[in-house]
Structure 1
């Protein structure tokens, strides 16, 4: 299922006509986190799209590999995507307020366009997220953008933790996560994403995520359907994963990792939709449906991610937006938006042809 939006921040502070460097770095980090979430969502989408079996033939227990994936991957990446959708919505609304007389109408058009794409996508992936995202954005997120920040935060906490404890996970968590993302932007998360608070949250979230994951592992499969442990473990895992990645991104290795993840995150909409097509094409040959061939699933996921990482890197080197992102942006602003980047400096010196 990332987010699905590329974050476009408003200029918070100016320095000789340029956006604040620190704020731009935070935007790049969040794009990388979105790309990371895309990787985990793909694994879950494969078994959902192909309708793989979760249990061993007797039906009494989960397949061992699926069991591991359920504890490590399922419900861990979807919350990250949903949170970032709410955050990027707030950033885009701020930007629209600077460039349009009626910024909320720009957002309405943007969400309607997403809903149309979601309707088409649902024909091929019935459990897809684009249409629900658009509906929740129109019904809940857009009206909430006019509320006080503290009220949005409280509603987000109730809609996330309260829903996880009472109704379970999945799409029921989307409204609360959207509101938390909106509140995070309102309280300056993009500007104040410093290392020490991230490390503090990680230190608190990691043991809680491990403890709830162990609890989930030990819970019998049939009891998971009526237990709140899976969504709670998923939320804590999402916090631990995202904060861990943000810390890694600020290391030397993280700079290399960001070169892979950031383009994928900026093309998340294109990658999300194209993954469905690739999964359906692969299923024609692999026939994963009704089986427990989860090692084959992991191989397929790795192949798709490698392909998408390569295409995303090359595409974003030359162009500003992914193909679907560009169409979406053009519909949003109701005009043709430039897609090509200015020619990189020194391009002739490395032997690449000038455009």
Structure 2
């Protein structure tokens, strides 16, 4: 299946944003008493803003993999279960290094909603994802959003809408970005006046979804302009090695942890600015490594292993399919 460059770029954008969110947790940067402008800015612009996009994209990837298997007439449910099982083990191990990471909730939600969703019509999966996402918002966001966003993304892919992220014109995504940004603005003003609600509250969850939509729409719009080459050049390498870069970021942060105090990185406002500068440096390292790896191997190391576990082959060949798994056309 041909890669959708905009989806890779959006995934890369999410990887970059998530690093800034995870760094204070991994480095254990406790906030000192009193106001902290940088921490509040991160809460408004970054915290819970990229995680929803990453979750939706994971669901879309799951759906695209299923559609590819259907076209090749391959049995896909057992393959998808193996894929989630590997993610479950990987996420469990990652939790030991970074409590609160995303992979374990993705795997659990995948078994609970994505695999059962393979038997549902596409529109039922999409609407079910929306309903579960609303429920997650009411519950205060965070991991409560995961089941709904995964299922919504899966439904989007099953309906054949994933390619629409690669917009032929920038005007529609720009309109979406303007509408979502305008809707988020009063919520952000309210949250700025009451920072206690930042992170896990209904208003913060709604603002997060709206900002995630704004960011995604702006990238989609840029990808429909002459800026496409620049945007893809910056973000696509991160997105094509999303799993490797997500886990690699944790290892890089842990490697820097013994030095952060000497670099003046702490939970203060100035210390968090230095942390962001360090994160930018780590992203440069990951970008260079990703570009070199893609040029040499075409696929990330963990991505290749994950694919092999899914299909027992790095590049699955067409095969016969059991009668109960055969669907000649995507369910609509």
> TM-score normalized by structure 1?
0.82
- 2:18 corresponds to which residue? 41
| Structure 1 residue 300 displacement after superposition | 1.5
The superposition leaves residues 247-283 of structure 1 with CA deviations (integer Å, 9 ceiling, x where unpaired) of: 1122223312211211110101000101101101111
CA distance in 2, matches of 1:241, 1:191: 18
| Structure 1 residue 52 displacement after superposition | 1.7
- 2:69 corresponds to which residue? 96
Is the contact made by 1:160 and 1:176 (CA closer than 8 Å) also made in structure 2?
yes
CA distance in 2, matches of 1:332, 1:156: 24
Structure 2 residue runs without a partner (length 5+): 317-332
Correspondence 1:240 to 2:214: yes
Structure 2 matches for 1:1-355, cutoff 5 A? 9=1, 24=3, 27-54=4-31, 56-58=32-34, 61=35, 63-99=36-72, 101-164=74-137, 166-193=138-165, 194=167, 195=169, 196-221=171-196, 223-224=197-198, 227-287=201-261, 291-292=267-268, 293-337=271-315
CA distance in 2, matches of 1:42, 1:161: 26
- The CA RMSD over aligned residues, in Å, is 2.0
Q: Mean alpha-carbon deviation: is it higher for 289-298 or for 243-252?
A: 289-298
What is the DSSP-based 3-state SS (H/G/I as helix, E as strand, rest coil) of the residue aligned with 2:97? coil
CA distance in 2, matches of 1:290, 1:192: 42
Structure 1 138/231 Cα, relative in aligned 2: closer, same or farther at 3 Å? same
The superposition leaves residues 30-63 of structure 1 with CA deviations (integer Å, 9 ceiling, x where unpaired) of: 1011001111000011011122224x424xx4x1
CA distance in 2, matches of 1:81, 1:139: 18
Is the contact made by 1:86 and 1:180 (CA closer than 8 Å) also made in structure 2?
yes
CA distance in 1, matches of 2:68, 2:200: 43
What is the DSSP-based 3-state SS (H/G/I as helix, E as strand, rest coil) of the residue aligned with 2:163? coil
| Structure 1 residue 100 displacement after superposition | 5.8
CA distance in 2, matches of 1:239, 1:280: 31
Is the contact made by 1:145 and 1:182 (CA closer than 8 Å) also made in structure 2?
no
CA distance in 2, matches of 1:199, 1:187: 23
Structure 1 257/197 Cα, relative in aligned 2: closer, same or farther at 3 Å? closer
CA distance in 1, matches of 2:80, 2:134: 27
| Structure 1 residue 106 displacement after superposition | 0.6
> TM-score normalized by structure 2?
0.87
CA distance in 1, matches of 2:200, 2:222: 36
CA distance in 2, matches of 1:49, 1:228: 25
What is the DSSP-based 3-state SS (H/G/I as helix, E as strand, rest coil) of the residue aligned with 2:283? helix
CA distance in 2, matches of 1:224, 1:69: 10
CA distance in 2, matches of 1:213, 1:322: 37
| Structure 1 residue 98 displacement after superposition | 3.6
- 1:351 corresponds to which residue? none
CA distance in 1, matches of 2:17, 2:314: 33
